[in-house]
Structure 1
Amino acid sequence: MIIYFSGTGNSRYIANRIADNIRDELIDANDKIKRRDTRTIKVNDRLVVVTPTYAWRIPWLVRDWIRKTHFQGVRQVWFVMSCGAEIGNAAKYNRLLCEEKDFDYMGTAQIVMPENYIALFHTPETEKARQIVSDAEPVIDNVCRQIVTGHAFAAPRNNLYDRVMSGPVNRLFYPLCVKAKAFHVSDDCIGCGKCVKLCPLNNITLENGKPVWGRKCTHCMACISYCPEKAIEYGKKSSEKERYYFEKLICCYSKIEMIK
């Protein structure tokens, strides 16, 4: 079974590729988390968890959902993490999560995909993004081969920088940086409600036809990236920045399921 969480489509694409390759069931963790669904999930031996990298670890909301959910029949668990550059020492925390859940930890793979964190960084232009995804394809293929053959992923880099970024920096990132109050909309907003639908924490509501953000946020960037009118901004940090979501590349990668 492959379980994935995705903000702007990178991890969803990787999960679909893995599911097609190893011919296994695919589950959308976004939907589970949004509905607060922690009911037992039956797994046939192997589990692959595909997520983006948030501050050099898997997202806290994914970690917490895994902790609360009972996975029946799981033996081996592989983690596949998409990232804009690196995953730091995320493997340590994935291993600890597996120990907590009594899973056999089979390693963590890093797959570099186009940057989407518009709150801090610029996203790549379309052609550059396509090249990044093209470069990721053989890495995804290798990940699939290792899962099919039951091999553990090779241990990723683990130096002092990685340990600091996945340790104290990650712990500070959420209380200091992950806030929703900077999100706002311009007069271009048409009140379509797409941001409300996409928010995995149900943190956005429509008031008088305009989105309003609550105090919960994971900075998945789905709301700002998928806004059809580019009406959502994150303070001044997103001004004039190109929005990125994977479906922009759909002409080259047609297997991904489009968000309606």
Structure 2
Amino acid sequence: MATSRQLIQQAITDLTESDAPDLDGRWLLAHLLQIDHRDPKLRQDFQVEESVANNFLKLLKRRGNGEPLAHLLGEWEFYGHAFEVTPTVLVPRPETELLVDWALQILKSRRQPRVAEIGVGSLAVIGSLAIERPDLRGVGVEICADALTVAKRNAAKHHLEERLQLVLGSHFDPLEDLFDLVVANPPYVIPGDPQLQSSVAAHEPEVALLDHIDGDGLGHYRLLIEGLAGRVHDHGGLLLECGQGQADSIAELARQQRWQVEIRQDLASIPRALYLHSRSS
């Protein structure tokens, strides 16, 4: 019978491509034991049942083959909340929490705000906003039916069905109302980009990653910026996440449409988010 320490050591040995193999091992073992990965028990050495150890080794092999940890666990924590994650949705990234932080600041003085998210995915962004702001109501648009199903399950999990309408569609097409804020983290990777990690390309949905509109990483931003007028109130705006090196180009597209633009950096000092607002006449 294996011990917990032996299993974690096996993770450290096998997961040579992981930035934190010991943490991956604790996550997987906690998942199988149905305890929190921060449980102090995991830092102790204890006997692990053979069936659990065997399942751990199976998951370890899949992790070693590049499968995202979130897919193995079936959920991922974002902004302090757990969201179901499957291969049909993008795994929420920590840098995307900047969008939630900024959106909450923008909406701070607005009562009962109306928010739309284009490309809702797992529901992590607008779901976190709705959890943090119980008076918020909104609409999430998603082009992938399977991803929309995941979003609806997460809405049910967090008791948000009455406040968030989730619809199948592309960009602004399904939206009819005016909003206080529109949020989007659109596909911005250029097809064939050598910087895209092979494990990400192999296991996460292409439709959520790659710009197949114009092929330069900016196609979705052009559509969102060109379609924004008439979608938000006069005090409203569009909050976007972008890839490294894209912020200035997106800002120029916005200014050409007479929007004022603010840019913020993520924790790695990379320009990561833009806020378009106050369109001039």
Length-normalised TM-score, structure 1? 0.30
Length-normalised TM-score, structure 2? 0.28
RCO (CA 8 Å, sep 6+): is it higher in 1 or 2? 1
**Larger Cα-atom Rg:** 2
